Each structure stands twice: as structure tokens, then as C-alpha cells.
Structure 1
Amino acid sequence: MNTTITPFSYGNDTHKSHQGQRKFYQFYVGIDIGASFHVASCIPFDAFLDPKGIAWKRTKTMKFNSDSVGIAEFLNALGKIEKQFSLTQKDFLILLEPTGGHYSYLVQQVLLNEGYELFQVENRAVGEFRKNNLGISEKTDSMDAKVMAYMGWHKQLHPHMQGVTLIRPQSVLQSLFRTVMRDRWYINVQLTRRKNQVQQLLKVTHPDLNKAFKSLSSTSVLKLVLEFPTGLHMKEATAEEIYNFLLKAGAKSVAKRAANILAEVMPNTIAVPAEHLVERQKWVIEEALRLEESIKLIDKEIHKLLWGDPDKGLDSHPYTEILMSLPFVSENIACTLIGVIGDIERFNTYKEFKKYLGVSSENKQSGTSVTGTRQTYSGVRDARRVLYQIALIILANGQKHPTVFKAYYDRKVTEGMNKKKAIGHLCGKIASLIYTVLKNKVKYDPITHAKACGVEFNNLYIKNNKEKTKLTN
């Protein structure tokens, strides 16, 4: 047996238990992901069998940079262990966090290409397992890496344990979908802030604009204010001048009416000179318009990702038509779901899928008493947000466009369930349906869904599905 000392520093007697046929992985690896560096633990199976429960805690960890040299050093360390104990890549179970967007992506892909068994575990799950299951309050990169290794061993020992969910890592395409949608969300948040700032400034610089426009944050109004920064600047303009500029700004449907109103009220405006605010107003508006253009470019990219781009030889995503067949699912929602889900085959059951999306239920427990249920705090925030968004759209359009989902929500409320909790249940039902259609590779059929739920279809989808009903009949 080779006695090479690795960066993880194992004793030479560890190999004795590795003779004979393997029933578990021989080593469990946990990687705490960081921006500049990662911290890895590599713990042998025997260490978890220590009666005192301290052997695995005392193993050393390896800190390596997140660049090519650092990752190569980490691979070399694993290679030394393989050589020392006559193992292969399949003897290692590696767990890491999907932290920080792309921070984990490079090391993840390198390990997969090398043939290692690799899974992702939720960031929140690591902290909860460390505190609730192991009773460890210490929060360090080194300890989290060891806890992830422990989670891998414990999950294999108790495969039905619900506290730990191991997910296959993201593909290149899934990572792109998720990053694009997250970028769009961040930009949209910034745009909303800029528009709110503009509306505050307009209360001083243009107090009479609300008489002509319902929304002061529309693109045409922002462009109009760039041309006429204050009410005093617009005071001298004629209705014809305002009309022509609104046409140029894209407000064709309201241009004539708005121009006439502004030409009538502006001569009597009480706007005061506010030149000290004009420069700030100009900067905020230009920033808002730039952000709007960025969102349009991202939306074009989302459309190409979903439906493909023949000019670049890109095929449409296999989940696009399935997700878009669901009621009230837009391209942005479909892109978010694909980015979160990746490959539906990563999930073995719909319960596992719902927990990953963050819409499963869990018991509320005090001591040995179970006092009720609540929606889990774990899961992917992006998925929980869009599922909640879909639920609210379904309920808001429930009168004009009734659906099986609305009927399910109404039944829960009628039974006495709190409305907020009923929405959570509705999100869970939507997640279960998404899991079913993606697993079966079929588009959503409202007739089949209504029949399965025992809802009379003739009372639903009257407006949206006239053509579909004719074809079905």
C-alpha cells in the first residue's frame, strides 16, 4: 500500500476496512464554494463509524483557489487518494452547494468530466442539518465542507431521509437559462426603482402630467419629459408640437387627447423653477430608458433560448411547448422554470420535485407535538416566486377565465382554509402538474385535467378553449 501523504492527511491504517467488496462509497467529499477559493473535505467511510462521533470532525480540509491551478491541485489530491487506496472515481461521493451563480460551475463540470459521482445540496439544508441534526453551531467554510460530506454518508445510510435532498448538478444550458432570467429580474428591480424616482421628481417638475396620462412611468412619458424637463418648459409649447413629439415617442393611441389636455392646462401650471432637479431627473430617466432597452434585448435572448435560432443552428428546448401549454405561463415564466428544473429526470418523485421548488408542506412541531403544517422554508426562491406569480394570475383572472386551479382554490377556501395557505396549496398543485407533464412529455390538456379532478369541463375554459373544444368533439 502506498503511504503517500495527501493534503487531507489520512492515517495509514484507514485502508484496512476497504478490503473486499464495497457496499458504500469509500470517501465522502464536501466542497464549500466561494468566489475566490473553495474548501473541500474528503472523509473516509470509517471516520463516520467512530462511537464518539468526533473522528470525522477532526479530519483536515483543503483550501484551493477557484482558478485552473487550484482546481488542478484539488484533482491531484483526489488522485493521490485513489492511488494510495487503490480506488477509482466511482468510490467517491461529492456534494457541493449551488452557491453564487457560476462560482460552482467550473469545478462542478471538471469533476463530472473526470467521472466522479457529484450532487448538489441546498445551501439552507446544510445549515439546518448542521444545527438541527448534528447540534453544531460553528459556521465556517471548513465545517460546512465536513457537514456536506457527513450529509452524503447519512443520506446513503438512510436514503428515505427527507432532511437531505441530493440533486444532479446543472447542465450548461440550464445554467444559462437561470442566469439570463436572474439578470432580467435584477434589471427589472432597478428599472422599477428608477421609475419610482422619476414619479417623485415629476411631482415638483411636472405636477400636471397626471391629467393627461394614467401612467407617468411609461416610455413615451419619459421621453416627453426629456424634451420638456419641467412644466415651465412645456408652457410655451403648442398642442401641435406636443402632439408631434408624442407620435415620435410612440404614444399614437393617446397623442391627440394628451396633447390637447396639456396645451389647455400648461398655461396655468403652478410649476416653479427647479433647475437643481432637472439634471438629476435627466440622469434617472436616461438610466430608466437604458434599462428598458436592456430588458428588451434579454427578452429576445429568452425567446431564442426557448424556441431556438435557425440562423445559429439552435433547436428549441424540449420543455418549451409543454410549459407554454399551461394556462397563464409566459416565456419569462417558462424560462425561469427551465432554469430551475434543468432535467426533470433529476427528480425521482413529485414530492422531491415540490420540495426542491419550495412549495411542499412540512409539519410544525414543538417537542413531540405536531401542531399543524406549513410551507417549507427550503427550496429555490426563483421557482417559488414564479409559482406564486402564476397562482395570483390564475386567481385574478378566475372570473373571466375559470380554470381547474381556480376551482381547487375555491374549494379549499370554502372548506375553511386560510386564503394565504390555500394559495400555497395551489402552488403545490401547479408544481405537481408541471412534474407530471414534463415526466410524461405531453402538453397540458385542460379536458383531461378537469376530468381527473372531477370538475365539469363545460363550466370551464369557455372563452379560451372554444376552438380546442370543437377539435376535441
Structure 2
Amino acid sequence: INTITAVLDEYFPEFETVFKQPFKGKASMHLLKVCPIPKFILELGEDGVLDEIKKAVKKTVGRKKAAQLVEAAKDSIGVDYGEYAARFKIQQLLEELELITNQLEALEAEMAETLKKTEVSEYLLSITGMGVVSLATCLGELGDPLRFENARQMSRMAGYNLIEDSSGKNKSGTCISKRGRKNLRSVLYQISLTLVANNKELRQLYNYLKTRENNPLKKMQALVVISKKVLTLIFTLSKKKAYYEPELVFGSYRKSQLQAA
């Protein structure tokens, strides 16, 4: 997408003023294949562009867009040489983009089907903000949550257990060991970012950790705590075969801390 956009910026930067999201609409994707550059748009004219839009979109729309595109092509500041090579390059890149998109869709569908075969997916997907791909990737690294005796074992597997951070005679506190699965930490980090943005309870905890009066944490440190909380949720919901309930996310002590903040 970035490469296609770079070519458009050179030859027809105004295309994205007509189609705000050119890689999501059927009409814009079709026009990118047929006439992505002013030369070919002007050759088609407004009626020709409209005919191409109708090939991609069945409903009766497009006259306004066709007119806007032609006007933009007339006043374009893009370069006016090598148009055929540029169009061919865009067509080739679009074919590659479609292939990758189809492969991703097939992969995600396979992940969803495999996830259904586990005994715990419906409970874990009830966590607000948790998606199929994120959960499948996490369980792919973590394995069956039911094989663990407690959430601490999961944390150690990810390398989240704390060790002394020292060098010679200097002791500066503790840090996570990172003696675990790097890929698991990576996916937990991505999940934590998503949950902090979409999960009210974990966002509240994240903000509290960064702003508390005693020992406020930096962003990355707070996300590690959120990641460990995610593992606790995975363990608890899997073991109990229970759905996510916001009021049960925190114990009484943590609730009192959050309320006081």
C-alpha cells in the first residue's frame, strides 16, 4: 500500500482527495487498476470513468465521483511522463496486494476454526477488546492454558518473573528476567495496547499505575503489569470456564486503590 501510494503521490496525488480511502472501496480499487493516472482518466472522460465505476459498483452511484476525478485530473500537479510504466507498476502491485489480502483472510479463517476446537475460546473471547487473531496467536505461543497450575507459571514462561537488577556492587531494584518466550511477550504487548484502548477496567488500571503517588510506573512498565493481568485473566477464565465480568476483574484491595485514585 505504501509503494502504491508513493507512485500515486508522484503521478496523481489528487486521487486521494477524491477517494479518501482508496484501498477499501470497490470503485476506487477498480479505477486504480484501469486509470490511476490523469492521462488515462482524461482519455476516458466523465462518461468513461462512470462506466468503469459501474463495473465495480452495482448500485446507481458514481456520477459525482467521476466528475470530481476528471476535474482533479485536469488540474493535477503530478508528473506527465512514464505513465504507461507507472500504470503497469500499480497494476502489478494491486495484484500482489490482493494476493496477500486473500492469504491473510484465509489464515485468519483457519485461526478462527482452530481456536473453536479449544475448550476455552468462547470464554477468553468474552474479554472486552480481545480479538480472534490476537488470542489465537497468544495461545499458539502459550499452549493450552489448562496445563498450568497457576498464572505465575504463565508469567515465568513469558519471562515476566522479577529478578534483581544489579551490576557489581550497584543494586538498582528489580526488572523482568526476559528468560522466556520472546514471541509470547511480543504478542502480549500488542494485546495489552489494544486492551488499554478498548477495555475500561484495564485502561483504568494502566492509568493508575502511571499516575499513582508512590512508585509511578513508566509506560512500558505499566504495560508489563497489564500483560501479566491478561495472563491472569486467561488462566482464571479458562480454569473456571467463566465469561468475562468487569466487576470481578479486580480484588477488593485493587478496587480500593483505584477508587482512592
**TM-score range normalised by the length of the shorter chain:** 0.7 to 0.9
Deviation at 1:280, TM superposition (A): 2.6
Provide structure 1 residue ranges, at least 5 long, that are not aligned to the other structure: 1-194, 308-315, 458-473
Give the structure 1 partner of residue 20 of structure 2: 214
Give the structure 1 partner of residue 111 of structure 2: 302
Give the structure 2 partner of residue 68 of structure 1: none
Give the structure 1 partner of residue 171 of structure 2: 370
Q: 2:223 aligns with which of 411, 418, 423?
A: 423
Give the structure 2 partner of residue 245 of structure 1: 52
Provide structure 2 residue ranges, at least 5 long, that are not aligned to the other structure: none
**CA offsets per residue over residues 93-137 of structure 1, 9 Å max, x none?**
xxxxxxxxxxxxxxxxxxxxxxxxxxxxxxxxxxxxxxxxxxxxx
Q: Is 1:199 the equivalent of 2:5?
A: yes
TM-score by length of 1: 0.48
**CA offsets per residue over residues 195-245 of structure 1, 9 Å max, x none?**
111111111232211211223443643432111142211123344543453
The answer on whether the counterparts of 2:151 and 2:235 sit within 8 Å (CA) in structure 1 is yes
Give the structure 2 partner of residue 396 of structure 1: 197
- State the distance in 2 between where 1:217 and 1:432 align: 39
Secondary structure in 1 aligned to 2:174?
strand
The answer on whether the counterparts of 1:239 and 1:263 sit within 8 Å (CA) in structure 2 is yes
Q: 1:335 aligns with which of 136, 140, 147?
A: 136
The answer on whether the counterparts of 2:46 and 2:70 sit within 8 Å (CA) in structure 1 is yes
Give the structure 2 partner of residue 287 of structure 1: 96
- State the distance in 2 between where 1:388 and 1:248 align: 43
Change (3 A) 1:327 1:304: same
- State the distance in 2 between where 1:298 and 1:403 align: 30
Q: Is 1:432 the equivalent of 2:241?
A: no
Q: 2:38 aligns with which of 222, 227, 231?
A: 231
Q: Is 1:444 the equivalent of 2:244?
A: yes
Q: Is 1:320 the equivalent of 2:129?
A: no
1:25-104 aligned within 5 A: none
Could you say which structure has the larger radius of gyration? 1
Change (3 A) 1:246 1:391: farther
The answer on whether the counterparts of 1:219 and 1:289 sit within 8 Å (CA) in structure 2 is no
Deviation at 1:366, TM superposition (A): 0.9
Give the structure 2 partner of residue 132 of structure 1: none
- State the distance in 1 between where 2:229 and 2:67 align: 51
Aligned sequence identity (%):
22
Q: 1:349 is aligned with what amino acid?
A: N
TM-score by length of 2: 0.82
Secondary structure in 1 aligned to 2:49?
helix
RCO (CA 8 Å, sep 6+): is it higher in 1 or 2? 2
Deviation at 1:371, TM superposition (A): 1.0
The answer on whether the counterparts of 2:15 and 2:72 sit within 8 Å (CA) in structure 1 is no
From the two aligned structures, give the one with the greater helix fraction: 2
Deviation at 1:267, TM superposition (A): 2.1
- State the distance in 1 between where 2:70 and 2:232 align: 56
Count the aligned residue pairs.
251
